[in-house]
A and B are shown apart, each in its own frame.
Chain A
Amino acid sequence: MASEDHEFTMLFQDFYPSLCRFLECLLGGRAPLAQDLAQESFLQLHRTAWGTLPPDEARFWLYRVARNLAINEFRKSNTRYRLFDRVVEAMRPVARNPEQEYETRERKQMVLEMLQTLPEDQRTALLLREQEQLSYREIGEVMNVSESKVKVDIFRARASLRERWAKRAKTAGASAS
């Protein structure tokens, strides 16, 4: 039992941060919610599937569950979460380098806003590809869709973001001048 928990702890240390990042991007920010959902995914794994899944499959299982939890969140009214997130943000300690932190935050915000313009399946496919480096086959397994759909979704996501990025750059350039 001790070794099983040790294995689980190793898996958790490996994938909890990247699962949080994936969910944060999927949810358009909302880091506390992302962390809660990531925790919930691991909890479900620990309770129901741990010990029965092959080790390689656990990762895909986690992303599948996390994505489903995120989709459920989209359907809920999220007003109270927005307020909660604002409170958490207000209580964050002041950064030692506020300028750098501001720039990082701006950049992160831009990425999140761009990603939110995509349909959920394109966003998920693109995040799993760019952040988790899963293959099309593995993404198809997580999302329960075919490889060809994954390929098309990722291309469309990139094309759409590329266009928006170019527009944003033009707008920023025009306002600067």
Chain B
Amino acid sequence: MSCSFTEKISSLIDGELATAEAREVERHVLTCGECAQVKADFLNLRSEIAGFESSLQPTVQNRALKKILSRGERATAHGWQWGWSTSAIAFASLLLVGAIIGLILYQTSRSNDRHPNTIAEVPSSTPVPTPEQTPTKEEKEQQPATPKQANPPAPSKKAPSREPRPGEQFAAIPNRQTPDRETPNPEAPERIRSADSETLTAIHFERSETLLRAFRNVRLNTREGAADVAYERKRAKQLVLQNMILRREADANGDVQSASLLENLEPILLDIANLPDKPDANAVRTIRERVERKNIVPLLQINSAALARALD
């Protein structure tokens, strides 16, 4: 390579030349056959090296992660610091949910034992129990609806007249009558089930906010007129999948606010994930403008903080 510019071609294709110098080298390459060939050869080498695929299998990767996390547990100084794998977290969450549901059942059964006294006091056309009689449980159940009860479940022979809400299915247990208002905390199981998805949603909002801030700060004035967004693209690809899952969760749980924000976030993550290796500066700007217009970053910040407070 005899031309004095050949060394600069290496820096040119790496985007490491100052703008003026880069323009000068580009102009030279247009007129110098040797340098044009050198540039083409260097770019060809790049594609060969960058296209090298590792022999890594997904099972090996998963096994490696498990080993690291388990060894990390034993290696810590304090025995109380545990590294939880994803499956351990899921199992612990299930146990916690089961324990809390059991507690609610217990509380429900305790409060149900007090109800017969309430029913006996309400005046109605039903036969009032005489002082001598102590109404048995079966007799109380035979009494028709009291004004306090909107849709009381029928005695054990019949199913409830309406579909019980989540948490109220305990009211359908035979020999127990639970007026709607007196059902102990019917929303509790639902709240507990959704706490896991709320935690994940809050974390997802935080990560997405970090990604969008990083994307906002990507340099656009690179020598080749393109931006380097490889890391942001990778992140966006991961976050898109999470976003889809969490959006469905939010829809299923009736969390309109989170579902709406996740819906607005998804196309932006998709666009970032689908950017080419060295995207045009305009493509990056367009996405940035959309993010600004939709006010996504402040909304993510507010929502993740709100979710974190709610979980506390």
Residues of A within 8 A of B (CB): 1-3, 5-6, 8-10, 12-14, 16-18, 20-21, 24-25, 31, 34-35, 38-39, 42-43, 46-47, 104, 107-108, 111, 115, 126-127, 129-131, 133, 135-136, 151, 154-155, 158-159, 161-162, 165-166
| Contact flag A1-B54 (CB < 8 Å), given A39-B64, A161-B45 | no
Instruction: Kindly list chain A residues whose C-beta atoms are within 8 Å of the C-beta of B1.
Output: 159
User: Could you say which of B72, B86, B203, B235 contacts A46, with CB atoms under 8 Å apart?
Assistant: B72
The reply to whether B49 and A127 contact each other, CB–CB distance below 8 Å, is yes
Q: How many A-B residue pairs have CB under 8 A?
A: 117
Name the residue on A nearest B202 (C-beta). Answer: A3
Name the residue on B nearest A136 (C-beta). Answer: B16
**CA–CA, A1 and B69, complex, Å:** 12
Interface check B311, CB cutoff 8 A:
no
Interface check B46, CB cutoff 8 A:
yes
Pull 18 A–B residue pairs with CB atoms less than 8 Å apart, ordered by A: A3-B203, A12-B65, A13-B65, A13-B238, A20-B54, A21-B56, A35-B64, A43-B71, A47-B75, A111-B52, A115-B49, A131-B52, A158-B10, A162-B38, A162-B45, A165-B41, A165-B44, A166-B41
Q: Mark B223-243, 1 if CB is under 8 A from A, else 0.
A: 000001010001100100000
Q: How distant is A109 from chain B, measured CB to nearest CB, in Å?
A: 11
Q: How distant is B72 from chain A, measured CB to nearest CB, in Å?
A: 4
Instruction: Kindly list chain B residues whose C-beta atoms are within 8 Å of the C-beta of A14.
Output: 234-235, 238
Q: Which of B77-85, B171-179, B184-192, B287-295 contacts A (4 or more CB under 8 A)?
A: B77-85
A38-B64, A108-B53 given; name 11 further pairs at CB < 8 Å: A12-B65, A12-B68, A13-B61, A24-B55, A25-B49, A35-B60, A46-B71, A111-B48, A130-B50, A131-B50, A158-B10
Interface check B42, CB cutoff 8 A:
yes
Task: Tell me whether chain B's interface is mostly helix, strand or loop, or mixed.
Answer: helix
**CA–CA, A112 and B69, complex, Å:** 32
Instruction: Kindly list chain A residues whose C-beta atoms are within 8 Å of the C-beta of B16.
Output: 135-136, 151
Interface check B182, CB cutoff 8 A:
no
Instruction: Kindly list chain A residues whose C-beta atoms are within 8 Å of the C-beta of B53.
Output: 21, 104, 108
The reply to whether B54 and A24 contact each other, CB–CB distance below 8 Å, is yes
Q: How distant is A126 from chain B, measured CB to nearest CB, in Å?
A: 7
Interface check B24, CB cutoff 8 A:
no
Name the residue on B nearest A127 (C-beta). Answer: B49
Interface check B21, CB cutoff 8 A:
no
| Contact flag A6-B203 (CB < 8 Å), given A21-B52, A131-B52 | yes
Instruction: Kindly list chain A residues whose C-beta atoms are within 8 Å of the C-beta of B86.
Output: 6, 9
Q: How distant is A52 from chain B, measured CB to nearest CB, in Å?
A: 14
Name the residue on B nearest A43 (C-beta). Answer: B68
The reply to whether B52 and A5 contact each other, CB–CB distance below 8 Å, is no
| Contact flag A155-B49 (CB < 8 Å), given A17-B61, A39-B67, A42-B68 | no
| Contact flag A2-B89 (CB < 8 Å), given A16-B61, A38-B64 | yes
Q: Which 3 A-B pairs give the minimum distances between C-beta atoms?
A: A31-B55, A21-B54, A155-B10
Instruction: Kindly list chain A residues whose C-beta atoms are within 8 Å of the C-beta of B82.
Output: 1
Interface check B11, CB cutoff 8 A:
yes
**CA–CA, A77 and B53, complex, Å:** 27
**CA–CA, A3 and B203, complex, Å:** 9
Q: Mark B2-17, 1 if CB is under 8 A from A, else 0.
A: 0000110011001010
Instruction: Kindly list chain A residues whose C-beta atoms are within 8 Å of the C-beta of B50.
Output: 130-131
**CA–CA, A104 and B6, complex, Å:** 31
Q: How distant is B201 from chain A, measured CB to nearest CB, in Å?
A: 13
Instruction: Kindly list chain B residues whose C-beta atoms are within 8 Å of the C-beta of A126.
Output: 49
The reply to whether B54 and A10 contact each other, CB–CB distance below 8 Å, is no
Q: How distant is A30 from chain B, measured CB to nearest CB, in Å?
A: 10
Instruction: Kindly list chain A residues whose C-beta atoms are within 8 Å of the C-beta of B45.
Output: 130, 158, 161-162, 165
| Contact flag A130-B49 (CB < 8 Å), given A2-B89, A20-B56 | yes
Instruction: Kindly list chain B residues whose C-beta atoms are within 8 Å of the C-beta of A24.
Output: 52, 54-55
Instruction: Please provide the chain B residues from 190 to 245 with a CB less than 8 Å away from any CB of chain A in the complex.
Output: 203, 228, 230, 234-235, 238
**CA–CA, A111 and B312, complex, Å:** 54
Instruction: Kindly list chain B residues whose C-beta atoms are within 8 Å of the C-beta of A2.
Output: 84, 89
The reply to whether B56 and A39 contact each other, CB–CB distance below 8 Å, is no
Instruction: Kindly list chain B residues whose C-beta atoms are within 8 Å of the C-beta of A155.
Output: 7, 10-11
Instruction: Kindly list chain B residues whose C-beta atoms are within 8 Å of the C-beta of A16.
Output: 56, 61, 64-65
Instruction: Kindly list chain A residues whose C-beta atoms are within 8 Å of the C-beta of B11.
Output: 151, 155
